[in-house]
């Protein structure tokens, strides 16, 4: 039986854990072949286990200037084309601005914004040449609302929204769709740096979403007819108090 994404090739950054891992699994289940990109080699190999042929690991630290620059070339050395690029890798380091470590600020802004711009920039010529492609960026509810009180993380995600809107318009004439997914708190390793009190409350209220919910949303966007683009899907638990 032909699956929804049979014959499609995807590349997902931050694919060894959380949302990226769940999305990868959903894409493979839907018939796609996936290049999993992550800096964590051990977790990456574990994520690929049992998916021989459908899951191809690519170890890359996207905060490394050279490895980031080489990303599209390295993906295209493994597969002959890319239909779907999911710019998902991101980090969260919480805390007040005045207390924040300057190096943490740099790393968070670098990965959550600059690397997204650079990764998308590097894959666009390939998609334009093929006159087709889908780009999904993992943003965040924090990029829509100041209620989460995150002076660095929120702006880093906020920036992805204008990027997605502009790229969506610019790439539409080339047959390329650009969208984003904006989750509320998701049960993943990323929340290890969340204030303990927030995490405890979120668990008590049932206001943590599973990574598979976000993966389902990504799959929904990707499997719309090609004349339909979804700009952004905000996914928050119904119990979340905004």
Q: Which two tokens stand for residue 148?
A: 């989460």
Q: How far is CA 5 from CA 1, 31, 34, 129, in A?
A: 12, 5, 11, 21
Residues 26-55 interacting with ligand NAD (rule: CB under 6 A): 38-40, 43
What is d(CA 63, CA 241) in angstroms, rounded to the nearest whole number?
A: 34
Question: Residue 163, interface with ligand NAD (CB under 6 A)?
Answer: no
Binding-site size, ligand NAD (CB under 6 A): 29
Describe the strand order of the beta sheet including 9-13 as a list of residue ranges. Answer: 55-59, 33-38, 9-13, 84-87, 133-138, 176-183, 232-235
Binding mask 175-214 toward ligand NAD (x if CB under 6 A, else -) reads: --------x-xx-xxxx-----------------------
Q: Which residue has the tokens 């204030």?
A: 195
Residues 5-24 interacting with ligand NAD (rule: CB under 6 A): 14, 16-20
Query: How far apart are CB 138 and ligand NAD at their closest, in Å?
Result: 4
The answer to whether 93 and 152 have CB atoms below 8 angstroms apart is yes
Residues 90-109 interacting with ligand NAD (rule: CB under 6 A): 90-92
Active-site positions read: 153
Residue ranges binding ligand NAD (CB under 6 A): 14, 16-20, 38-40, 43, 60-63, 88-92, 111, 138, 140, 183, 185-186, 188-191
């Amino acid at each position: 039986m032909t699956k929804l994404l049979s014959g499609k090739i995807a590349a997902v950054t931050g694919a060894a854990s959380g949302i990226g891992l769940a999305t990868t699994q959903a894409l493979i289940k839907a018939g796609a072949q996936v290049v999993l990109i992550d800096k964590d080699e051990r977790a990456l190999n574990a994520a690929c286990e049992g998916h021989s042929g459908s899951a191809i690991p690519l170890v890359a630290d996207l905060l490394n200037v050279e490895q980031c620059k080489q990303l599209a070339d390295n993906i295209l050395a493994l597969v002959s084309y890319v239909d779907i690029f999911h710019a998902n890798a991101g980090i969260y380091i919480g805390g007040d601005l005045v207390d924040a470590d300057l190096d943490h600020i740099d790393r968070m802004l670098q990965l959550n914004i600059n690397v997204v711009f650079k990764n998308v920039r590097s894959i666009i010529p390939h998609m334009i040449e093929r006159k087709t492609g889908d780009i999904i960026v993992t943003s965040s509810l924090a990029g829509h609302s100041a209620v989460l009180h995150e002076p660095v993380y929120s702006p880093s995600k906020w920036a992805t929204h204008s990027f997605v809107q502009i790229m969506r318009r610019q790439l539409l004439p080339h047959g390329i769709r650009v969208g984003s997914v904006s989750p509320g708190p998701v049960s993943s390793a990323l929340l290890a740096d969340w204030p303990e009190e927030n995490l405890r409350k979120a668990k008590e209220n049932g206001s943590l979403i599973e990574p598979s919910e976000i993966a389902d949303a990504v799959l929904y966007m990707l499997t719309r007819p090609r004349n339909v683009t979804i700009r952004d899907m905000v996914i928050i638990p119904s119990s979340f108090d905004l």
